[in-house]
Structure 1
């Protein structure tokens, strides 16, 4: 099961303060739009997303089809196959991908401690 690139999506109160804080730790902006209240930042292989006002909790995020630079990879497991495998294992999904479609889709679930897990395929 290839989940793709991993990052932590942080629910921040002030994206400008958060950006400055993580820049002090050596993170650089990889993508996003601060005017839309979201940024993706990277320090070596560590990737975080800063999201202001978009969700309630921090989210563990996986991106099938991407590497840690948000570049396409050829060998990946499609989100719909991941979904089928997880459901066979008895994992309860909060949001499911439409298995009749192709391309971008996402699924969400909660880990045993209530932490949101997002698998978000962009291609």
Structure 2
């Protein structure tokens, strides 16, 4: 099962304060739009997403089809195939991707401790 690039998506209260904090830890802005209250920061192979007012909890994020620099992978497991495989393992899907579509889609599962995990395919 190829899950793609990994990052943590943080629900922040003040995106500017969080941006400054993580820049002090050596992270640099890699993408996003602070005027829309979201940024992606990187430090080496570590990626953090800062999101103000977009979701309730911090979450783990996997991006099938991308490497850690958002380059499209030649080979990857489509998000709908990941979802179907997880269903066969009795993993409850909280928000489902439409399996009749292709291309970009997402689904969310929640681990036993209540941590949301976003599978978000952009290609």
DSSP 3-state at the match of 2:92: coil
Structure 1: distance between partners of 2:57 and 2:80 = 25
Cα distance per residue 1:2-56 (max 9 Å; x no partner): 0000000000000000000000000001100000000000000100000000001
Give runs of aligned pairs for residues 22-61 of structure 1, distance below 5 A: 22-61=22-61
Tell me how many residue pairs correspond in the alignment. Answer: 123
Question: How far 1:70 sits from its partner (Å)?
Answer: 1.1
Structure 1: distance between partners of 2:41 and 2:68 = 11
Aligned to 1:7: 7
Give the TM-score, by structure 1 length.
0.99
Which stretches in structure 1 are left out of the alignment for 5+ residues? none
Aligned to 1:84: 84
Q: Deviating runs (4+, > 3 A) in structure 1? A: none
Give the TM-score, by structure 2 length.
0.99
Which stretches in structure 2 are left out of the alignment for 5+ residues? none
Question: How far 1:104 sits from its partner (Å)?
Answer: 0.3
Question: How far 1:71 sits from its partner (Å)?
Answer: 1.1
Structure 1: distance between partners of 2:121 and 2:18 = 26
What is the aligned-residue RMSD (CA, Å)? 0.4
DSSP 3-state at the match of 2:94: coil
Structure 2: distance between partners of 1:111 and 1:58 = 13
Structure 1: distance between partners of 2:20 and 2:110 = 30
Structure 2: distance between partners of 1:117 and 1:84 = 16
